[in-house]
Amino acid sequence: MTQQVKHFIDGEFVTPTGDKLIPVTNPATQDVIAQVACATAGEMEQAIESAKAAFLTWKEVPVSERARLMMRFAHLLKEHQGEIADIICRELGKTVEDAKGDVWRGIEVVEQAANIPSLMMGETVENVARSIDTYSYIQPLGVCAGITPFNFPAMIPLWMFPMAIACGNTFILKPSEQDPMTVNKIAELFVQAGAPKGVLQVVHGAKEQVDAILHHPDIKAISFVGSVNVGQYIYKTGTDNLKRVQAFAGAKNHMVIMPDANKQQVVNALVGASVGAAGQRCMAISVAVFVGAAADWIPEVASAIGKVRPGVYTDPNAAYGPQISPQARARVLSLIEQGKKEGATCVLDGSDCKVEGYPNGNWVGPTVFSNVTTEMEIYKQEIFGPVLTTMQVGSLAEALKVVNDSPYGNGTSIFTASGAAARKYQHEVEVGQVGINIPIPVPLPFFSFTGWKGSFYGDQHAYGKQAVRFYTETKTITARWFDDDIPVSGPNMSINLR
């Protein structure tokens, strides 16, 4: 019997009542491993009402107790890391190592959430005027919500709800319908850690359920990670409904390679950063910009990438897994063909990739293009597959122009032995996250994930200090206490404190 994915509402896993079912398939075989029912309007309302009621008591829980909840939760996630990774492997197809990394990067955010007492400290100044003090408190918003993508089913939900809940909010999570089982396991562990009833809700579904979140008046803030079009829709719709929104959208991440870089380090970095996780990372390096004589390395890069191969997660030699769906695979293959038609040189073609014993898998082999220009669709679109496009320019200034002219600004990196070149690049590049001799510069969670331009819509970013600001409001108090011996003066008719 096919497993039925349950909602987590009001502290319990409940059997869905909706009749709109979405199959959850193993992307290596197309076997249906579960079915997820879209939450009904009634179930959505029940979840939101439960979160709203829980907020009234949760916001009063001492911040130290909220921190200890996150400590216990992080401990359980570590204990069950392998079990969670196995679920990811089955429903998303990631290799075991990649799936464990997915979980671990989420654990790091939970550990940061355990630092919430110091992160929520306000400010104070004594005697802003005579015998008058001003101080501020950081207070939660209320019911918050998160809408997460398929590609990191553990990490990205853990970017969101632990920080929001640690700040004193309650949370509605709508994970991707393509791999919903991972989040349910995480919710189960959150309950085991001692999370009170109603603090976290998990509802499954698609656009209709997203729209319910966007329009409901009791939801105060929304976090989203996903595609550009959906990110723009969520930001516009959410803010039109007077909600606070952070929407992380698409990317086209460039690596600039200077001629003085360490060639072997460049080759190794490009292999992992371009085709790792089947290219299904918003921080994947999909464009390599070779400066000057570094372009001579392109054949070696293609040769090294050609040595890796996709496979099922039970194969210890598989470098990465399948695309999430047949539709995703078809889109990647279409863009590869488009690149050939537009005149790019396909140095390595993975279009006809096959994995023995798994003829129905959503396989795309590693693919490399050279002689790519900024007018080509394979450059302009986020391919989200194991495809590396390469370009050649004459100088660092030209490379900077290429990167800065891109509408996206999620991540970038430069490989060089020159401190001057690295300093110029990090200072002038118009991208939010920069790596120097590091291909994928995703910051650890005591910093924030800071995409720019068309990669992010909003003001405050994910995790780190910015997440605390996103999930809270600041209340500023100005106070005077009168001593009996202070003479009473006449009315103050000005705005000045005195």
Q: Which residues pair with 246 in a beta bridge?
A: 223
User: In angstroms, how far apart are the furthest CA atoms of the chain?
Assistant: 91
> Cα–Cα distance between 466 and 460 in angstroms, integer?
5
* The model's pTM: 0.96
353 is catalytic: no
Rg of the chain, C-alpha, whole Å: 25
Concatenated DSSP letters for 172-198? Answer: EEE--TTS-HHHHHHHHHHHHTTPPTT
In 10 A of CB 295, how many CB atoms?
19
Catalytic residue among 89, 282, 346, 353: 282
Domain architecture of the chain: domains with CATH:
3-249+459-477 (3.40.605.10), 253-436 (3.40.309.10)
- Amino acid identity of residue 35, one-letter, is Q
Residues of the chain with pLDDT under 70: 1
How far is it, in rounded angstroms, from Cα 374 to Cα 89? Answer: 35
Summarised one tens digit per residue, pLDDT across range 280-306 is: 999 999 999 999 999 999 999 999 999
The DSSP code sequence of 262-307 is -HHHHHHHHHHHHHGGGG--TT-EEEEEEEGGGGGGHHHHHHHHHT
Q: What are phi and psi of 76, to 5 degrees?
A: -70, -40
What are the tokens at 138? 């950081």
DSSP 449: B
Predicted pLDDT at 1: 59
Q: Is 247 helix (H, G, I), strand (E, B) or coil?
A: strand
* Separation between Cα atoms, residue 15 and residue 104, nearest integer Å: 30
Residue environment code for 226-258, b if the CB has 16+ CB neighbours within 10 A, otherwise e: bebebbebbbebbbeeebbbbbbbbbbbbbbbb
Cβ partners under 8 Å of residue 242, min gap 6 = none
Q: How far apart are CA 163 and CA 103, in angstroms?
A: 16
* 347: amino acid identity, one letter: V
Length of the chain measured in residues:
498
Give residue-wise pLDDT tens across range 209-219: 999 999 999 99
Q: DSSP secondary-structure letter at 316? A: T
Provide the β-strand partners of residue 135: 124, 477
